[in-house]
Structure 1
Amino acid sequence: MYKRKIYLFGISSGLIMMIALCATAVSAYLTQNNLEQSNTAQTLLAEHQKLSSISYRMFKQLTDELIFGESANQAIIRNKQALIAQSLDKIRTLEQQQRQALGSQMTAGSVEDTDELAALINAIISEFKAITAAYTNTPLDQQYRLQTLLEVKIDNEFREAINAAVVRQGNVVSAINAKIETLNTAIIWFAVGVALFAMPCIILACYWLFNQLYQPLTILNNGTKAIAAGDYQQRLPETLDSEFYQLVKSLNLLASKLAEHESKAEQSRKQLEFEVEQRTREISQVNEQLTKIDSRRRQFLADVSHELRTPLTIIRGEAQVTLRQPSAAETVYRETLNSILVQAVNLSDLVDDLLLLARAELSRLQLDMSCQPIGEFIQLQVSQWQRVHDERQFTLEIEDDLKMIKLYFDPQRIKQVVAILLDNACKYSPPQSPVKVFAREEKSRFCIEIKDFGEGISPSDINHIFERFVRFKHKSEGLGLGLAIAKAIVEAHDGDIQVNSTLGEGTTFQIYLPMEAVS
């Protein structure tokens, strides 16, 4: 298409040049033809004038012959006759050419008048010869025949004939000159018209070709600048010339790939920002959690120090008091040793609890797993607590098909968990209020639910209920490690422990143990 436009422009320009050259050639041909016709007419006019001059001189010589004798000027007369014959022949030839070129209408009478003129000249010459042959002694001015020849034939007929021929040929020359002038004027106006027509056409054609050649380059330039500036949605039109199709297709493909990469980069950036924000949030949460853990660690060390100091102080005090006595009865020593033993047992229990929590955190809590009927196990625990707390009613509700189901668990550790929860239920509920225990299957897990009807736990405290050394303000018994130990033991069994509480209505703990190992 691009080459086709150039070819079209070249063909159009060549056509205009051909028209101009053809017009020039036609004008040159017409001009040459008119010039040839003008030269012929001018030559004819000159020959007529020459014929007139030669004829009059010859007539003068013939007149002199009558005056001076028959032998006078014969050679000159013959020479003049030959010249007249040559001139007449040339006139006839030129008139024939002129008639063929101009037509019989424009040259009417030319050939015929020449014949009449030649006949008149011959007649005049013959009359001169006849008069000369019949010469007498009569005076010439009295000779009527000679007078008629000179006045009628020469002065009237010949002069009128030669003048008519000259005038007629002069008209032909004028007509040809007018025709030449008209042709020249037409050529000039044609040239002006061609110029006036050709110049706008050439300007418009150049403007069209410039636009056709420059427009694709402008579109490509603007498109590449837009793509280079980052506008990857820019698409170049594929309707350009076929020479640019592959280039436009490649640029559009490049823009598409750049847009795709830009989109992926934007998505990656947003994903990175999201991940950074998420990681920052997680780090902030972890940092906050670490801060809380550090705070709890400090509190834990303070609580451990406090809990260890009390029995150690009692042990040291009992020992010091006993040792200060110079002599003491066996009963005193026994009381002192019993007190020291009780405190040592408390210390041992505290150390065991802390060691259990430490091992649980390190995933090193050792469990003595065995397959036992879980229903009988729970029934036994409830019965034992009922005997210890006979003033409170303990009830157990378990589905019949779950009573003999067996699970893999550590009986001592689960017994410890149940004991912690039943002890808390008794501790934080009125003495006469019941404690209900439920056993059921829930979502492929075995659930042990212990519910009391005490004061309940506030929402602010329930979020920290499984933390170490957490104790309610209105109760001071215990070290606050029971629920933390219970959570550690249950999670060591791949289970879960949850709590729900409503102030004034009571608290419910759920222990979830996996049932995948049921036999």
Structure 2
Amino acid sequence: MNSITKRWVRGSLLITIVVLLMAEAVFLYFSISNYYEGARRALSSRSSTILTQLSASGSQTGESRENVLRRMVEQFSEKDKFELMLVDNSGRVAVSTTGFSRETVAGNDLVKALSSEDGTGYSVYQSEMGEKVMAMTALLPYPSGDLLAIRLVTSLALVDRSIETMVVISLALVTAIILFSVWSGMFFIRSIVRPLNEIEATAAKIALGDLSIRLEQKSDDEIGKLSAAINHMAGELDKTERMKNDFISSVSHELRTPLTSIKGWVETIAAVEDPKDPVYKRGVQVIAEETDRLYAMVEELLDFSRMQNGLTLKPQLLDLAAELTDAAIMVERRVELEGLRLVWEEPAQPVPVSGDPARLRQVFVNVLDNAIKYSPKGGVITIELLTDASNAYVSITDRGPGISPEDLENVRIKFYKGKGAVRGSGIGLAVVDEIMQAHGGALDIQSEVGHGTTVTLRLPIYHREKETEEGKGTSI
């Protein structure tokens, strides 16, 4: 949580504060400039009015401009807003609406007016009373005796108070935005951190072996999807754990049965002195059969272990029809002993495929073994080989009890054994599926309860233009 909070503070919140402060600075700069520019425009407008009135009064009455100016100062009607001064040629105040005269002009607006092209100058300064003011001096456009310019001065107290109010309001607004950002950000972080803490605690319990625990999915966002993924993972682990335990129990039982039989027959034939005794011969036969069962189970377990570490193939060009015939011959004796009938007619034309002969034979024998185990006495097992332009399809069909829909979708999962499963480790079809995928093919199972099962194995047909290097292994 601390890490997420720090990243948010250093990233989003800090950027937000910096942007807001920059925006506040720009806003204040332009606002203050606008306020002062407004005061400047007011002085300029009033000065232009006075000069216009001066020109008009002088031409109408014939009175000297100096007298007109002095009378205008005496009759100035905006004394509450501006102080009007007449500045003489020596740079001193000759007449003022406040009654003071012969004082030196404060500020540098007169100097600016004398040096400017339009004859005007502005300045902002502190008056003798400590008041902040703005002054404007405009040189007289006509000779007016010893008078040089008119000067207007206005107080900036109201402007500064307006600016202070604006600054306080804008800073309060920025502060409110920052506080809201902090509150909303912390609320958002808590909405992420709390579910993450729950997910972390749940994951820790799952890691300790509690696979029954589940997360409550409170939303459909990324956190909700993560919770759903954790729940799915826990469910799959729980299912795998149960299947593993069932596998261990099943394998233990499967191993115990032949070992018990072997042990019993070893003790029995040990007491038989004549090797020609039927009991002796029967005992040797049973031991051989049970040993074959043990060997097949160990081979399945070894195959499973190899798949976990990566299954290596040694592909070569094969005749798929011939390989099927070899697999049929391998199980032919067992089919007869189980009272079944195997139907297989090898096609006249070879079917070329690229594959590992040992692994493909393992696939065919494994599928045929399942068909034999689940076929009733007198049943028929059919092998068919069909092709199209790209693939060969091997279908092995039995007339057994079939597989229920709920078991059918899980039979390829490692360790899974359905309700009607007979002896076996539960990894045979998982091994078949892995080998078929390694060959670029696929395993498909169709079954109907009470009507049997059809296993279809698809393999790509070999084409010379797709030939791979001879002897090169392929790993998965």
Q: 1:355 aligns with which of 283, 288, 302?
A: 302
Output the aligned Cα RMSD: 5.4
Query: What corresponds to 1:303 in structure 2?
Result: 250
1:445–1:294 distance in 2 versus 1, CA, 3 Å: same
Query: What corresponds to 1:440 in structure 2?
Result: 387
Higher helix share: 1
1:514–1:466 distance in 2 versus 1, CA, 3 Å: same
In the alignment, is the contact (CA less than 8 A) between 1:382 and 1:394 conserved in 2? no
Q: 1:346 aligns with which of 277, 293, 317?
A: 293
1:353–1:438 distance in 2 versus 1, CA, 3 Å: same
How is 1:203-242 mapped onto 2 (pairs within 5 angstroms)?
Answer: 218=166, 222=170, 225-226=173-174, 229=177
In the alignment, is the contact (CA less than 8 A) between 1:5 and 1:209 conserved in 2? no
Query: What corresponds to 1:8 in structure 2?
Result: 41
Per-residue CA deviations over 1:101-141 (Å, capped at 9, x if unaligned) read: xxxxxxxxxxxxxxxxxxxxxxxxxxxxxxxxxxxxxxxxx
2:319 matches 1:286: no
Per-residue CA deviations over 1:398-435 (Å, capped at 9, x if unaligned) read: 8x9xx545222122321221233234345445645563
In the alignment, is the contact (CA less than 8 A) between 1:429 and 1:454 conserved in 2? yes
In the alignment, is the contact (CA less than 8 A) between 1:469 and 1:481 conserved in 2? yes
The alignment of Structure 1 onto Structure 2 pairs a total of residues equal to: 318
Query: What corresponds to 1:168 in structure 2?
Result: none
Q: 1:493 aligns with which of 417, 425, 439?
A: 439
Give the letter for the 1:361 counterpart. Answer: Q
In the alignment, is the contact (CA less than 8 A) between 1:438 and 1:450 conserved in 2? no
2:357 matches 1:411: yes
2:448 matches 1:502: yes
Give the letter for the 1:500 counterpart. Answer: Q
Secondary structure of the structure 1 residue equivalent to 2:396: strand
In the alignment, is the contact (CA less than 8 A) between 1:445 and 1:512 conserved in 2? yes
1:202–1:454 distance in 2 versus 1, CA, 3 Å: farther
Higher strand share: 2
Q: What is the CA–CA distance in structure 2 between the aligned matches of 1:514 and 1:217, rounded to whole Å?
A: 83
2:403 matches 1:457: yes
Q: What is the CA–CA distance in structure 2 between the aligned matches of 1:338 and 1:436, rounded to whole Å?
A: 30
Secondary structure of the structure 2 residue equivalent to 1:229: helix
1:354–1:328 distance in 2 versus 1, CA, 3 Å: same
Q: What is the CA–CA distance in structure 1 between the aligned matches of 2:47 and 2:459, rounded to whole Å?
A: 101
Q: What is the CA–CA distance in structure 2 between the aligned matches of 1:438 and 1:227, rounded to whole Å?
A: 80
Q: CA deviation at 1:371?
A: 0.9
1:19–1:369 distance in 2 versus 1, CA, 3 Å: closer
Q: What is the CA–CA distance in structure 2 between the aligned matches of 1:227 and 1:445, rounded to whole Å?
A: 72
In the alignment, is the contact (CA less than 8 A) between 1:436 and 1:452 conserved in 2? no
Secondary structure of the structure 2 residue equivalent to 1:491: helix
Q: CA deviation at 1:461?
A: 0.9
How is 1:32-431 mapped onto 2 (pairs within 5 angstroms)?
Answer: 195=77, 198=78, 218=166, 222=170, 225-226=173-174, 229=177, 278-323=225-270, 325=271, 328-330=273-275, 331=277, 332-363=279-310, 365-378=311-324, 381=327, 392=341, 394=343, 403-428=349-374, 431=378
TM-score, normalising length: structure 1 = 0.47
1:454–1:319 distance in 2 versus 1, CA, 3 Å: closer
In the alignment, is the contact (CA less than 8 A) between 2:400 and 2:451 conserved in 1? yes
1:515–1:438 distance in 2 versus 1, CA, 3 Å: closer
TM-score, normalising length: structure 2 = 0.50
Q: CA deviation at 1:310?
A: 1.4
2:429 matches 1:483: yes
Q: CA deviation at 1:470?
A: 4.6
